[in-house]
Amino acid sequence: MSDRSKKKQNQEVSDSSTSNGNMSELIQKIQNIETAVNKNNASLRSTIKDLILEMKDEIESVERKIEVIESSLFDVLKENENLKTEIQEGPEGPGTLT
């Protein structure tokens, strides 16, 4: 067997053991997370509830901002319509520009 094929075979074995090591680390981390969730179920539930309430407050704040923007946009559109009507009517009243 040549040096090149020995190096390639050693690299493949090394890659395989690294992959297996990473996989076992991943499995261990998942098991740790499962254990933490099972032990701290009440704590986790409380944390999730608090997070959802915060998100709800943020959503309500964004909704209020959107309503204000919509109101402003409506006012601008109404103003534009009034100006358009004034321009079409001209200084002497309706029907002068045709």
Q: Are residues 37 and 44 in contact, defined by beta-carbon separation less than 8 angstroms?
A: yes
Give the Cα separation of 68 and 72 in Å (integer).
6
Residue with tokens 């009034």: 82
Q: How far is CA 64 from CA 50, 58, 60, 74, in A?
A: 21, 10, 6, 15
* pLDDT tens-digit readout, 7-65: 555 555 555 555 566 778 778 777 777 777 777 677 777 777 888 888 888 899 999 99
What the block records as the tokens of 68 is: 């204000």
pTM: 0.45
* pLDDT tens-digit readout, 58-94: 899 999 999 999 999 999 999 999 999 999 987 666 5
